[in-house]
Amino acid sequence: MHILTVNLGDRSYPIYLGEGLLSRTGELLKKAGSGKKVGIVSNQTVADLYLDPVQESLTRSGFRVIPIFVPEGEEHKNLKSLSDIFDRLIGERFDRSSSLIALGGGVIGDLAGFAAATFLRGIPYIQIPTTLLAQVDASVGGKTGVNHQEGKNLIGAFYQPRLVLIDLEVLRTLPRTEFVAGLAEVIKYGIIEDPQLFALLEANLEDLLSLNRGLLEKAVAASCTIKARVVEKDEHEEDYRSVLNFGHTIGHALESLTGYDQFLHGEAVAIGMAQAATISRREGLCDDKSLERILHLIKGAGLPTDLPSGIRLEELANKMEVDKKSVGGKIKFVLCAGIGKTRFHWLSAEDIIARLASIQKKVESENR
Amino acid sequence: MHILTVNLGDRSYPIYLGEGLLSRTGELLKKAGSGKKVGIVSNQTVADLYLDPVQESLTRSGFRVIPIFVPEGEEHKNLKSLSDIFDRLIGERFDRSSSLIALGGGVIGDLAGFAAATFLRGIPYIQIPTTLLAQVDASVGGKTGVNHQEGKNLIGAFYQPRLVLIDLEVLRTLPRTEFVAGLAEVIKYGIIEDPQLFALLEANLEDLLSLNRGLLEKAVAASCTIKARVVEKDEHEEDYRSVLNFGHTIGHALESLTGYDQFLHGEAVAIGMAQAATISRREGLCDDKSLERILHLIKGAGLPTDLPSGIRLEELANKMEVDKKSVGGKIKFVLCAGIGKTRFHWLSAEDIIARLASIQKKVESENR
């Protein structure tokens, strides 16, 4: 078992990473300290696969476990589901010493984390991410929240978990498309911070896609380490944390515009990264070779790189403007300066769209 | 103009206190730093009285002002109103540099503060309390939140404002019952921390009730100073901040049980304080003389001290158990040890009810 630490003073916490950790939940939660009452927020699909070992382990350690199911899907990450969770917590007489466990992907993690952040003005919570995407991204760093019909995560809080428990075994039951989508975020860490991780992915993509145990552990641990270091530098995203947004300005807007049902988050981010890297090349920040490697790795993983042909760029721009990262009409757009380095440019949605339009024109003329 | 400071490291902020400050809002907000867009959360009654000077001042200082009205009353301090505020903020394209102003009493302050805490994971906000109660209590200390049908403030966050602007002139248009209810919290500060403030209130109650300018300023400044010092010691109510809860365990339960329409918050707290002081006397913590002074001051202010005769104590107990301060079934009950000193006792709701029942029996036998 790996133990990484997110160092945030009195809000520091461990990330446990290894195989078969679900059945050690009780022991690890006991170590972190919690009252006897523990709610497990999950959905039916995830619960069918992973609830039993978690619940048994907690019961064995003397906890009283209350499973709390929420409906599946990004469209239920909203104030309604949050309100339903509150009803349950109040019905079960949760107090400030009670804990919540988020058992699931990013939707569950964000929702349960926000419920923990705001119930009684904050109770402890634990992240047990069951998708690759949640393991390398949402579960670490304390971003919690729900969606508004106008955009993702517009309502939320920064609120750190007491511990993160990453069981790599769960990836063996994860649908392949979901695994691949998660790889997009792993690739992102390589692009923004870690040429070595990027090279590791390039050299071992096939083995990684076949869930090679050692490689998985390396890739996830490297990703979580980068995420932890970035969060330590800038917990509340006042400055540097925005680097994690590479590929997300376009990715989020695309997800929002397509109603969250055409692309998995990782797929939209893959397109966003490919477009951002291409823009970076055109701005003279990124060399040809790096751009080629980035596009090659994304495609090699089975991820998309092009905006869908039907997309209307002005509508995409509208979605960018309600993104919570925009300030005074400008968006802090993350560009890459080769592999492992980034640069922030403040651009309006129109600036970004003009660049995307020019890329699309080039693609179209090449395809003719 | 008085300037008090709440010292909380990088979340420190000033409390400006004086007469005619509403028309200096723009200048003071500029000093605190904010983007151009400012939402003023208020209700119709408050807005009719005070919106104009605030809005004019902000406009003069170059801000773009967006008034956001919410319906009046504690029953609208809920997730629905919160969601309505989010809709407006998104419609008006608020970003992370935009600010919210809470212009109103405690309901507006808690609701607008919680909206600011959770919109885009946190934007700046300013408290402009327009009731005595909000000036001496809710506006200082960063407690924000909304109610759940099962209890008050069960959903919320600790989130500090950028500044608090207390204009004493607004008290001249405040209904007398509201002013008197606010005095309950001022009396509380005397009981829990400040024998001098308590003596000042005793000696000058009539003048204070006639809104004597110098006395008002002294009483409000002393109250805010105590609140600030307590919050500095224990921002997240892990320990000492609970002292502010004196009279509130019973008060909150009473409000909840009577559907928030029979008592103003301050009135319920007045009853809670009188009962808690009487319990303190019976536990041998508070001497006869202090108890007498406490009851005399509360009554002298025109506030109630007795539980309404129809109340069912078991139902009151149920309401206490869902209070967010209960841990493992026990409630951290604040007792007074004379005037200016407190003691915490961990009691079950049943313990508290048994003591109340015995007090009621004594009152009844005396009335016979």
ipTM summary value: 0.88
Q: Is B296's pLDDT higher than 70?
A: yes
Alpha-carbon gap, residue A281 to A275, rounded angstroms:
10
B120 in A contact zone (CB under 8 Å) = yes
Which pLDDT band, with edges at 50, 70 and 90, does B75 fall under?
Answer: confident
Size of interface A-B (CB pairs under 8 A): 98
pLDDT band at residue B151 under the 50/70/90 scheme: confident
Is residue B100 a contact partner of residue B116, using CB atoms and an 8 Å limit?
Answer: yes
Q: Is B276 in contact with B246 (CB distance < 8 Å)? A: yes
Select the residue of A36, A93, A118 nearest B156 (Cβ to Cβ): A118
Active site (annotated) includes residue B143? yes
Q: Are strands B326-327 and A125-129 parallel, antiparallel or unpaired?
A: unpaired
* Element spanning B357, H or E: helix B349-367
% of chain B exceeding 70 in pLDDT: 99
Contact A35 B327 (CB under 8 A): yes
Which pLDDT score, from 0 to 100, does residue A54 have? 98
More confident residue, A368 or B333: B333
Using pLDDT thresholds of 50, 70 and 90, give the confidence band for residue B261: confident
Chain B residues within an 8 Å CB radius of A36: 328
User: CA-nearest residue of chain B to A318?
Assistant: B93
**Residue of B11, B83, B111, B121 for testing the chain A interface, max A β-carbons within 10 Å:** B121
CA distances from residue B107 to A350, B141, B257, B269, B301 in whole angstroms, order as listed: 40, 15, 18, 16, 23
Nearest to A93 among B117, B158, B322 (CB): B322
pLDDT at A141: 95
A258 lies within 8 A of chain B by CB: no
Residue A328: is its pLDDT beyond 90? Answer: no
Q: Please report, rounded to a whole number, the percentage of residues in chain A having pLDDT higher than 70.
A: 99
Report whether pLDDT(B352) > 90: yes
Judge: B120–A154 Cβ closer than 8 Å, yes or no.
Answer: yes
User: Can you give the pLDDT at residue A43?
Assistant: 98
| Beta-bridge mates of residue B329 | none
Q: Do B86 and A119 touch (CB under 8 A)?
A: no
For residue A367, pLDDT over 80 is answered with no
Residues in A touching B145 (Cβ below 8 Å):
118, 121
Mean pLDDT (whole number) for A61-66: 98
Closest to A122 (Cα-Cα) out of B118, B82, B246: B118
- Specify the pLDDT at position B361: 83
Domains of chain B plus CATH, in order, are 2-173 (3.40.50.1970), 192-367 (1.20.1090.10)
**Residue position matching structure tokens 């400040």:** B194
Least trusted range by pLDDT, from A231-240, B56-65, B109-118: A231-240
Q: What is the pLDDT of residue A23?
A: 97
Just list the catalytic residues of A. Answer: 121, 143, 185, 227, 237, 241, 245, 248, 252, 265
**pLDDT tops 80 at residue B96:** yes
- Per-residue DSSP letters for B180-211? HHHHHHHHHHHHHH-HHHHHHHHHHHHHHHTT
Min distance B1 CA to chain A CA atoms (Å)? 33
> Which is catalytic among the residues B121, B238, B366, B368?
B121
Chain A residues with CB inside 8 Å of B158's CB? Answer: 121-122
Q: Which of B74, B185, B255, B267 is catalytic?
A: B185
| Minimal Cβ distance to A158: which of B90, B119, B121 | B121
Q: Is the pLDDT of residue A323 over 70?
A: no
B99: CB partners within 8 A, 6+ apart: B29, B34, B35, B37, B38, B39, B116, B123, B124, B125, B126, B162
Q: Would you state the pLDDT for residue B259?
A: 83
Per-residue pLDDT band at A151 (split at 50, 70, 90): confident
Q: Which residues of A touch B242 (CB under 8 A)?
A: none
Residue B206: exposed, middle, or buried by beta-carbon count in 10 A (0-12, 13-18, 19+)?
exposed
Q: What is the pLDDT of residue B323?
A: 64
B96 touching chain A per CB within 8 A: yes
Q: How many Å lie between the alpha carbon of A156 and the closest alpha carbon of chain B?
A: 5
CB contact under 8 A, A155 and B119: yes
* Amino acid, res. B336: C
Mean confidence (pLDDT) of chain A:
94
For the segment A168-194, the average pLDDT, to the nearest whole number, is 97
pLDDT value of residue A234: 94
For residue A66, give the nearest of A79, A76, A51 by alpha carbon.
Answer: A51
For residue range A8-52, list pLDDT tens digits in order. 998 999 999 999 999 999 999 999 988 999 999 999 999 999 999
Question: What pLDDT shows up at residue B327?
Answer: 72
- pLDDT confidence band for B365 (50 / 70 / 90): confident
pLDDT for the residue A271:
98
Chain A neighbors of B90, CB-CB under 8 A: 148, 150-151, 154, 322
B145 touches chain A (CB under 8 A): yes
Looking only at the bridges linking them, the beta strands covering B125-129 and B64-69 are: unpaired
Could you tell me which of A58, A67, A71 has the C-alpha nearest to residue A39?
Answer: A67
Residue A322 predicted with pLDDT over 70:
no
Give how far A119 is from chain B: nearest CA, Å.
5
Arithmetic mean of pLDDT, A133-162:
93
Q: Does residue B361 sit at the A interface (CB-CB below 8 Å)?
A: no
User: A137 CA to chain B: closest CA distance, Å?
Assistant: 17
- Whether the per-residue pLDDT at A137 is higher than 80: the answer is yes
pLDDT-based confidence at residue B367 (cuts at 50, 70, 90): confident
Percent of chain A with pLDDT over 90: 86
Residue A212: the pLDDT is 96
Residues of chain B found within 8 Å of residue A234, distances taken between Cβ atoms: none
pLDDT for the residue A11: 93
pLDDT band at B55, cuts 50/70/90? very high
Mean of pLDDT values over B71-98: 93
pLDDT at B63: 98
User: How does the average pLDDT of chain B come out, rounded?
Assistant: 94
Instruction: Answer whether A299's CB lies under 8 Å from A305's CB.
Output: yes
The pLDDT-based confidence of A108 (bands split at 50, 70, 90) is: very high
A357 touches chain B (CB under 8 A): no
State whether residue B345 sits within 8 Å of chain A by CB.
no
Q: How far is CA B235 from the centre of its chain?
A: 15
Known catalytic membership, residue B245 = yes
